[in-house]
Protein backbone atom coordinates (compact mmCIF):
# COMPACT_ATOMS: atom_id res chain seq x y z
CA UNK A 1 0.00 0.00 0.00
CA UNK A 2 1.45 3.39 -0.94
CA UNK A 3 1.36 6.11 1.72
CA UNK A 4 0.89 9.02 -0.65
CA UNK A 5 0.59 9.89 -4.30
CA UNK A 6 3.47 11.82 -5.76
CA UNK A 7 1.16 14.47 -7.15
CA UNK A 8 -0.14 15.16 -3.61
CA UNK A 9 3.32 16.46 -2.79
CA UNK A 10 4.14 19.94 -3.94
CA UNK A 11 7.87 20.56 -4.25
CA UNK A 12 9.14 22.36 -1.15
CA UNK A 13 5.87 21.94 0.83
CA UNK A 14 6.26 19.34 3.61
CA UNK A 15 3.40 17.06 4.55
CA UNK A 16 2.81 15.24 7.84
CA UNK A 17 2.30 11.48 7.62
CA UNK A 18 1.21 9.13 10.41
CA UNK A 19 2.49 5.62 9.89
CA UNK A 20 3.07 2.67 12.23
CA UNK A 21 2.78 4.90 15.30
CA UNK A 22 5.33 7.38 13.96
CA UNK A 23 4.78 10.93 12.80
CA UNK A 24 6.89 11.65 9.75
CA UNK A 25 7.55 14.77 7.73
CA UNK A 26 7.54 14.00 4.01
CA UNK A 27 9.03 16.51 1.60
CA UNK A 28 9.34 16.48 -2.14
CA UNK A 29 12.16 18.41 -3.72
CA UNK A 30 12.00 18.16 -7.47
CA UNK A 31 11.91 14.46 -8.32
CA UNK A 32 13.16 13.31 -4.92
CA UNK A 33 11.12 12.66 -1.78
CA UNK A 34 12.57 12.69 1.74
CA UNK A 35 11.13 11.40 5.00
CA UNK A 36 12.34 12.54 8.42
CA UNK A 37 10.88 12.37 11.93
CA UNK A 38 8.35 15.15 12.26
CA UNK A 39 9.11 16.22 15.83
CA UNK A 40 12.05 18.59 16.23
CA UNK A 41 14.78 17.18 18.47
CA UNK A 42 14.99 20.50 20.33
CA UNK A 43 11.41 20.58 21.63
CA UNK A 44 7.86 19.62 20.66
CA UNK A 45 7.46 21.36 17.31
CA UNK A 46 6.17 19.81 14.11
CA UNK A 47 8.75 20.18 11.36
CA UNK A 48 6.15 19.76 8.64
CA UNK A 49 5.06 23.31 9.51
CA UNK A 50 8.58 24.55 8.83
CA UNK A 51 10.30 26.03 5.80
CA UNK A 52 12.43 24.26 3.22
CA UNK A 53 15.75 25.84 2.30
CA UNK A 54 17.80 23.84 -0.22
CA UNK A 55 17.84 20.30 1.24
CA UNK A 56 17.17 21.49 4.77
CA UNK A 57 14.03 21.96 6.79
CA UNK A 58 13.90 24.78 9.29
CA UNK A 59 11.91 24.39 12.50
CA UNK A 60 9.35 27.20 12.78
CA UNK A 61 9.72 27.46 16.56
CA UNK A 62 13.37 28.39 17.20
CA UNK A 63 14.95 28.08 13.77
CA UNK A 64 16.98 24.86 14.00
CA UNK A 65 17.71 23.30 10.61
CA UNK A 66 17.93 19.62 9.72
CA UNK A 67 19.37 18.06 6.60
CA UNK A 68 16.52 16.15 4.95
CA UNK A 69 18.96 13.67 3.39
CA UNK A 70 20.74 12.63 6.60
CA UNK A 71 18.64 13.91 9.51
CA UNK A 72 21.67 15.81 10.80
CA UNK A 73 20.95 18.85 12.95
CA UNK A 74 22.94 21.51 11.10
CA UNK A 75 21.87 24.65 12.97
CA UNK A 76 21.45 25.29 16.69
CA UNK A 77 19.52 25.20 18.97
CA UNK A 78 18.98 21.56 17.94
CA UNK A 79 22.04 19.35 18.14
CA UNK A 80 20.55 15.86 18.00
CA UNK A 81 19.98 14.23 14.61
CA UNK A 82 16.56 12.96 13.59
CA UNK A 83 15.79 9.58 12.03
CA UNK A 84 15.30 9.51 8.28
CA UNK A 85 13.44 6.81 6.34
CA UNK A 86 13.93 5.41 2.87
CA UNK A 87 11.28 6.44 0.37
CA UNK A 88 10.23 4.30 -2.56
CA UNK A 89 8.67 5.97 -5.58
CA UNK A 90 6.95 3.85 -8.21
CA UNK A 91 5.23 5.88 -10.88
CA UNK A 92 2.82 8.05 -8.86
CA UNK A 93 3.01 5.97 -5.67
CA UNK A 94 5.13 7.00 -2.70
CA UNK A 95 5.93 4.59 0.14
CA UNK A 96 7.89 5.50 3.25
CA UNK A 97 9.72 2.42 4.50
CA UNK A 98 9.78 2.16 8.27
S1 LIG B 1 11.56 23.29 18.81
FE2 LIG B 1 12.61 23.20 16.92
S3 LIG B 1 14.22 24.59 17.20
FE4 LIG B 1 13.24 24.62 19.10
| Ranges of each domain in the chain | 4-96
Cα 85 to Cα 22: distance, rounded to the nearest angstrom: 11
**C-alpha 92 – ligand 1 centre gap (Å):** 33
pLDDT digits (tens, 9 = 90+) for 32-75: 999 999 999 999 999 999 999 999 999 999 999 999 999 999 99
For the CA of 62, the closest atom of ligand 1 is: 3
pLDDT at position 5: 94
Architecture of the CATH domain 4-96: 3-layer Sandwich (2.102)
What predicted TM-score, i.e. pTM, was given to this entire model?
0.95
- Ligand 1 pocket mutation pick from 48, 64, 73 by most atoms within 8 angstroms of CB: 64
Cα 52 to Cα 11: distance, rounded to the nearest angstrom: 9
- Residue 1 pLDDT more than 80? no
Amino acid sequence: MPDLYLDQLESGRPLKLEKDGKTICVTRIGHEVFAIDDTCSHSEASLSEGEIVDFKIQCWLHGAEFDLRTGEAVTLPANIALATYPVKIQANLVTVEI
